Structure 1
Amino acid sequence: MANTPQARKRIRRNARRAEVNGARVSRIRTFIKRVELALEGGKKDEAFDALKAAQPEIARGVAKGVMHKNTAARKISRLAKRVKALG
């Protein structure tokens, strides 16, 4: 158990940050799923639009520190490759 005031504050702050970061990661996953659903359905235009919406969301995740830069680049690259293959 935390004994010092700053340790107690750190626990409170970490809980808030975990909640915010969890919401961010969830939002990114939702955008990625929209692209994947469009790809499975074979809807090229919808997949392209979903990818255009997902890219800045993934980049924002990197900027906020919830996702590593290379992970984001890899995800965007793989999604773009699959969207391009539809055409």
Structure 2
Amino acid sequence: MANTTSAKKATRKIARRTIVNKSRRTQMRGAVRTVEEAIKSGDREAALKAMSRAEPELMKAAQRNIIHKNNASRKVSRLSQRIAKLAK
């Protein structure tokens, strides 16, 4: 347990940030899930629409250090590739 006043404050601050970060991570994962479901169903239009919502979510999460920026870029790239395959 934290002993100093500053350590106690840091613990409270971390707890508040954890709640916010969990919410953002959940929102991001939900956006990615909708893209994956659209791809799985084979609906290219729905996948593109979902991707236009998911990409900013991923990049925003990367900016806020919820996920690594390379991780976000990789997810966007792989999802885009899978959507492109639907056109064929």
Report the TM-score, using the length of structure 2 for normalisation. Answer: 0.96
Match of 1:49 in 2: 49
- TM superposition shift of 1:65: 1.0
Match of 2:31 in 1: 31
> What is the total number of aligned residue pairs between the two structures?
87
Give matches, 1:8-87, under 5 Å.
8-87=8-87
| SS state at 2:75 partner | helix
| SS state at 2:10 partner | helix
Identify unmatched segments of 5+ residues in structure 1.
none
Report the TM-score, using the length of structure 1 for normalisation. Answer: 0.97
Partner amino acid, structure 1, of 2:54: A
Identify unmatched segments of 5+ residues in structure 2.
none
- TM superposition shift of 1:63: 1.0
Q: Deviations over 1:1-38 (max 9, x none)?
A: 11111111010000011111111111100000000000
**Using the alignment, how far apart are the partners of 2:31 and 2:41 within structure 1?**
16
